[in-house]
Amino acid sequence: MEKHVLALQLSQILGEEFNRDWIYEHIEIPKQEKMGDLAFPCFKLSPALRKPPQDLASELAPQLKHDLFENVQPVGGYINIFLNQQFITEHTLKQILTEQENYGKHTFGEGKTVVFDLSAPNIAKPFSMGHLRSTVIGNSLANLAANYGYETVKINYIGDYGTQFGKLLSAYKNWGDEEKIRANPLAELTKIYVKFHEEAKENTLLIDEGRHWFKKLEQQDEEALRLWRWFKEVSLEEFEKIYQLLGIEFDLTRGEAYYNDKMDATVELLKEHQLLEDSDGAKVVRLDEEGIPPCLIKKSDGTTIYATRDLTAAIDRFNSYSFDEALYVVGHEQSLHFAQIKHVLNKLGFNWAQNVKHISFGMMLQDGKKMSTRQGKTILLENVLKEAIQQASDSIEEKNPQLRNKETVARQVGVGAVIFHDLKQDRRNDVEFSIEDMLRFEGNTAPYLQYSYVRAQSILQKGGFKVDASNPFLSDEKAWSLIKQIRKFPEATAKAYKEYDPSQIAKYLLDLAKTFNQYYTHTKILQGEQQDAKLTLVYGFSLVLKQGLSLLGIEAPEEM
Task: Kindly write down the DSSP assignment for every residue of 39-86, as one continuous string.
Answer: EEEGGGTHHHHTS-HHHHHHHHGGG---TTEEEEEEETTEEEEEE-HH
Segment 254-309, tens digit of pLDDT: 999 999 899 999 999 999 999 999 999 999 999 999 999 999 999 887 777 889 99
Q: In what order do the strands lie in the sheet with 431-432?
A: 369-370, 364-366, 431-432
Segment 233-242, tens digit of pLDDT: 999 999 999 9
The whole-number average pLDDT for the span 85-106 is 92
Highest mean pLDDT among 155-164, 350-359, 460-469, 532-541: 350-359
From the CB of residue 322, how many other CB atoms can be counted at a distance below 10 Å? Answer: 11
Instruction: List the domain boundaries for the chain.
Output: 2-83, 113-274+309-368, 381-551
Tell me what percent of the residues of the chain surpass a pLDDT of 90.
Answer: 79
Of all helices (H) and strands (E), which one includes residue 428? none
This prediction has a pTM of: 0.91
CA proximity to 166, closest of 215, 200, 221? 215
Instruction: Indicate whether 221 pLDDT > 70.
Output: yes
Domain 2-83 maps to which CATH number in 3.40.50.920, 3.40.50.970, 3.30.1360.70, 3.40.50.2300? Answer: 3.30.1360.70
How far, CA to CA in Å, does 194 sit from each of 129, 207, 433, 513?
A: 18, 13, 22, 46
Q: Is 493 helix (H, G, I), strand (E, B) or coil?
A: helix
pLDDT for the residue 118: 97
Packed helices 185-200 and 222-246: angle between N→C axes, nearest 10 degrees: 120
Instruction: Indicate whether 372 pLDDT > 70.
Output: no
What type of residue sits at position 62? P
Packed helices 446-462 and 406-423: angle between N→C axes, nearest 10 degrees: 130
From the CB of residue 227, how many other CB atoms can be counted at a distance below 10 Å? Answer: 21
Q: DSSP E strands: which ranges in 292-435?
A: 295-298, 325-329, 356-359, 364-366, 369-370, 431-432
Domain 113-274+309-368 maps to which CATH number in 3.40.50.620, 3.40.710.10, 3.20.20.70, 3.40.50.300? Answer: 3.40.50.620
Bridge pairing between strands 113-118 and 151-158: parallel
Packed helices 205-218 and 222-246: angle between N→C axes, nearest 10 degrees: 90
How does residue 377 score in pLDDT terms, banded at 50, 70 and 90? low
Higher pLDDT: 73 or 305? It is 73
Q: Is 364 helix (H, G, I), strand (E, B) or coil?
A: strand
Packed helices 489-498 and 531-551: angle between N→C axes, nearest 10 degrees: 10
The whole-number average pLDDT for the span 472-486 is 86
From the CB of residue 457, how many other CB atoms can be counted at a distance below 10 Å? Answer: 20
The whole-number average pLDDT for the span 126-151 is 94
Chain-centre distance for alpha carbon 367:
24
- Calpha distance 402→191 (Å, rounded): 43
pLDDT for the residue 432: 86
Tell which CATH architecture fits domain 381-551. Answer: Orthogonal Bundle (1.10)
Packed helices 531-551 and 446-462: angle between N→C axes, nearest 10 degrees: 150
Instruction: Indicate whether 435 pLDDT > 90.
Output: no
Residue pair 146/399 in contact (Cβ under 8 Å)? The answer is no
